[in-house]
Amino acid sequence: MADSLPTLANPQFVDEYLDRLRAIQYGPVGYVERIVISVAHDDHKCVNEARIVPGVGVQGDHAWKQWWRGRRIEGRQVSAMNAEVLDTLEIPYDVPGDNVIVRSFDLITLKAGDTVRIGDMILKATGASHRPCATFERRTSLAKMKAVAQGRLRGTMLDALEEGRIRVGDVVERIFFRKTNAAADGWREYEGVG
C-alpha cells in the first residue's frame, strides 16, 4: 500500500488501522489463500497442502506450537486468520504463523462448537484463545498488534474431526449439523444441513 501507516503504537495509528480493518467486507463462502507450516519457532513455510490429524494438528508443525507456559493447550490443532486482515496491515502471510490463511469468509463470526468445511475436511471452532501476543507484536508492530486485539481480528482455532488434507484454493464455508442415529464413530453421526 502506498499510504502505509507508521508502526508506532500511537492511538491515532491504531485507530487508523482499526478503521481500515472494520471496512473489510466478507461473504458467506471463502477459500484457502495460503497454508503455512511452522517447522520451528519463527520458521514458517508456505505450502500448497497440509495433512491434518485429529489430536495432533497440522503435520509438520513443530511440537511446541500447541504449548504455552509449559503446558499443552487443548483446542489449538489448526490456527486460521483472514487474508484481508493481513493485507490491510501489510503483513506477509507467513509472518503470524497461522496454518490457514482464509479469504472472503469471516473467521471471527465462528463461535466455539461451530463447524466449517475446508475442502473435504470438517473442522470445529474450539473457542481457544487466539489473541495477538508478544510474538505477534515482535513479528509485526505494537500498533498492528493493538489494532488486531481491539478489533478482535486475530482469527480462530480449529480442531479436526477426521484426518485429511487442506489445499490452497479449497472452499471454506460454515456448515450446520443435525444428529442422526447413524454410525457410532464421532462426527459421522451428524448429517450436514444448510
Confidence of residue 24 (pLDDT cuts 50, 70, 90): very high
As a whole number of Å, the CA-based R_g of the chain is 17
Rounded mean pLDDT, 27-52: 91
Which helix (DSSP H) or strand (DSSP E) does residue 82 occupy?
Answer: strand 78-82
- What pLDDT does residue 182 have? 52
- What pLDDT does residue 188 have? 45
140-174: pLDDT as tens digits: 888 888 888 877 788 899 999 999 999 999 999 99
What residue segments make up the domains of the chain, in order of their start? 26-193
Q: Is the dihedral of CA 85, 172, 47, 43 positive or negative?
A: positive
- What pLDDT does residue 71 have? 66
Distances from the Cα of 172 to the Cα of 17, 41, 107, 134, 136, angstroms: 26, 27, 10, 29, 25
What pTM value is reported for the model?
Answer: 0.82
Q: Which CATH superfamily is domain 26-193 in?
A: PK beta-barrel domain-like (2.40.33.20)
Helices (H) and strands (E) in the chain, counts: 4, 14
